[in-house]
Each structure stands twice: as C-alpha cells, then as structure tokens.
C-alpha cells in the first residue's frame, strides 16, 4: 500500500475539475504538489486551498500544447523538489461535433492536447524516474478510450491512443519500478462538456445532462488515490451504464454497437 506523504506529485489540468480535486486529495495525504495549467490565478487559488506550506507547492503555469516546453518544465520541477514521484496526466479537452463537420485542425488540436502533450511530458519526466528507480504515471483516460461514441470521434481516438502508449510504458518501465495506472472515467461532474471543442474549434458551451448528474470530482479523486495506493493497472470510475458498456463491447459487441448508434446526444 503506497503512502503519499512527502511524495512529489505533478498534476496537469490542476486548476479545476478532477485535477483540482486530486490536488486536494493528495494534499490531505501530505504530498508535495506541482500544479500545472494555463490559468496562473486559478492555480494560485488551488494552492491556497490545499493549506500546504509554501515550499511544498510549486505553481508551474504551462500550455501543454507547446510540446517543446516539456523538458524545461520537468527541469524546473527537479530544480525545486529534486525528484518526481507521481505524474498525473489530467489536462485534456473533449469534443462535441460530427465527423462530417469537423475540421482537420480540430482533430489535430484534440490529439495534441489529449495525447501528444502527455507523451511529451512523459518523455521529459521518464529519465528522472528511471534514474531514481521509481515513479508512477496516472493517466486520465475515459470510457471513451474503450468505446467509440457519437460526436466524440477525435476525443475517442486520442483516449484509445493513450491506452496503447501507456500499456507499452507499463511493460517497458517494469524493470525500473515505473508504474502506470490508467483511469477510465465515465460521467464526472465537471465542465468538460461546456469546454468541449465544436466542429470549428470553439467551445461547445453546454452542460451535458449526464455530466451534470455524474460522479462528483471529489469522489473520483478518492477512488484514483485508492487505485494508485494499491497499484491498480486500470480502473473504471463510471456509472452502471458506462461500465456495463465496456463489458458489452468485450462479450456482445454487436449489441453495444447498436446501442451506441441509437444514443444520439441531446
């Protein structure tokens, strides 16, 4: 059972939603935090709410789409804390648009934010974890990483890609005690649908009904810490319907595909 006290935990997308909830959860466990997002003022708000000593929280504003900044960001963390124990890849954006209407630029943006940014930061952090012979990556995937659904084609693709990449990393990093926990989240009560990209790359701007009624972010964070504590390789944090859909795809794929086809988003 892993103890998080004094562990250095780097969280991307830490200014709201699941990232903010994770910051609070790790802070209660006595971890030291690196908080990353684009909005520095929101990161400062989260830092203040953690109640941790000043020296135990590093604010590191970063646009994760600027892949060339990843190595420098990792160097800043090492300069401050001398190590990185847990890397939480939480930054991401969803999508609400049909394939026929969606521009290639939007697909490129989705893949850069949801996949390539995690790869860039992982490659920047991995040498330090390899040197210290320990490290744990937490990957915020989705039920969409298992099932393709309507109006989320690019988001689905990026989340599927995360599984392929981090399954490989889990195997390659085993000898150096590098661990990976992949989180397949269903509907969590955050603003992910409001901030989702539409076909032109703007904000969708609407709260999905399922999202509004989803699992609280704080409960999601609690389950993530328990999974990491027990070194779970992959977990589902979802309502009954979303979790059931994963098993339907495995054992009754035709039935699942029919259900997806009929499930037009409102």
pLDDT band at 1 (very low <50, low <70, confident <90, very high): low
Rg (CA), the chain: 18
For residue range 233-263, what is the model confidence (pLDDT) as tens digits?
Answer: 999 999 888 888 888 888 888 877 787 777 7
Mean pLDDT of the chain: 94
Cα–Cα separations (whole angstroms), residue 210 to 47, 117, 245: 30, 27, 15
pLDDT at 261: 75
Predicted model pTM: 0.93
Does pLDDT of 266 surpass 90?
Answer: no
**CA pair distance 238, 214, nearest whole angstrom:** 8
Q: Are the beta carbons of 114 and 93 closer than 8 angstroms?
A: yes
9 pairs with which residues across the strands? 33, 86
Residue 252: count other Cβ atoms within 10 Å of its Cβ.
12
Does pLDDT of 265 surpass 60?
Answer: no
**CA pair distance 140, 13, nearest whole angstrom:** 10
Q: What does the pLDDT average to over 102-117?
A: 98
**CA pair distance 148, 151, nearest whole angstrom:** 9
Which CATH code is given to the segment(s) 8-262? 3.40.50.720
pLDDT at 90: 97
Residue 97: count other Cβ atoms within 10 Å of its Cβ.
23
pLDDT at 246: 85
pLDDT at 138: 98
Per DSSP, 30 falls in state T
Among the listed residues 107, 155, 166, 187, the single catalytic one is 155
Triad 201, 163, 255: Cα angle to 5°: 85
Cα–Cα separations (whole angstroms), residue 125 to 72, 122, 178: 10, 5, 11
**CA pair distance 244, 255, nearest whole angstrom:** 12
Q: Is 174 a catalytic residue?
A: no
pLDDT at 251: 87
Dihedral, CA of residue 189, residue 191, residue 197 and residue 203, to nearest 10 = 150
Give 244 or 230, the one with higher predicted confidence.
230
Q: How far is CA 20 from the centre of its chain?
A: 12
pLDDT at 89: 98
pLDDT at 243: 82
For residue range 63-76, what is the model confidence (pLDDT) as tens digits?
Answer: 999 999 999 999 99
DSSP codes joined into one string, 145-186: GTS--TT-HHHHHHHHHHHHHHHHHHHHTGGGTEEEEEEEE-
Q: Are the beta carbons of 89 and 138 closer than 8 angstroms?
A: yes
b or e along 172-210 (b: 16 or more beta carbons within 10 Å of the residue's beta carbon)? ebeeeebbbbbbbbbbbbbebbeebbbbeeeebeeebeb
For residue range 62-109, what is the model confidence (pLDDT) as tens digits?
Answer: 999 999 999 999 999 999 999 999 999 999 999 999 999 999 999 999
Q: What does the pLDDT average to over 44-49?
A: 97
pLDDT at 241: 82
Q: What does the pLDDT average to over 139-167?
A: 96
Cα–Cα separations (whole angstroms), residue 223 to 87, 95, 176, 216, 237: 17, 25, 26, 11, 8
């Amino acid at each position: 059972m892993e103890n998080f006290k004094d562990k250095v935990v780097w969280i991307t997308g830490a200014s709201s939603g699941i990232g903010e909830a994770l910051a609070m959860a790790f802070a209660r466990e006595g971890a030291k935090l690196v908080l990353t997002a684009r909005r520095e003022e929101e990161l400062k708000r989260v830092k203040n709410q953690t109640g941790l000593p000043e020296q135990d929280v590093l604010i590191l504003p970063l646009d994760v789409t600027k892949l060339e900044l990843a190595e420098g960001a990792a160097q800043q963390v090492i300069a401050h804390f001398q190590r990185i124990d847990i890397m939480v890849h939480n930054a991401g954006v969803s999508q609400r648009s049909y394939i026929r209407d969606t521009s290639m630029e939007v697909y490129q943006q989705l893949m850069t934010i949801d996949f390539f940014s995690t790869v860039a930061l992982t490659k920047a952090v991995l040498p330090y974890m390899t040197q210290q012979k320990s490290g744990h990556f937490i990957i915020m995937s989705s039920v969409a990483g298992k099932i393709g659904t309507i109006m989320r084609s690019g988001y689905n693709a990026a989340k599927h890609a995360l599984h392929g990449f981090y399954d490989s990393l889990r195997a390659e990093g085993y000898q150096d005690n590098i661990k990976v926990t992949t989180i397949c989240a269903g509907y969590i009560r955050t603003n992910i649908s409001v901030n989702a990209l539409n076909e032109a790359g703007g904000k969708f701007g609407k709260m999905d009904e399922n999202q509004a009624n989803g699992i609280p972010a704080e409960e999601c964070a609690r389950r993530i810490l328990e999974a990491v504590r027990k070194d779970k390789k992959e977990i589902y944090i979802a309502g009954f319907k979303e979790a059931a859909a994963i098993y339907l795809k495995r054992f009754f794929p035709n039935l699942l595909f029919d259900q997806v086809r009929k499930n037009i988003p409102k």
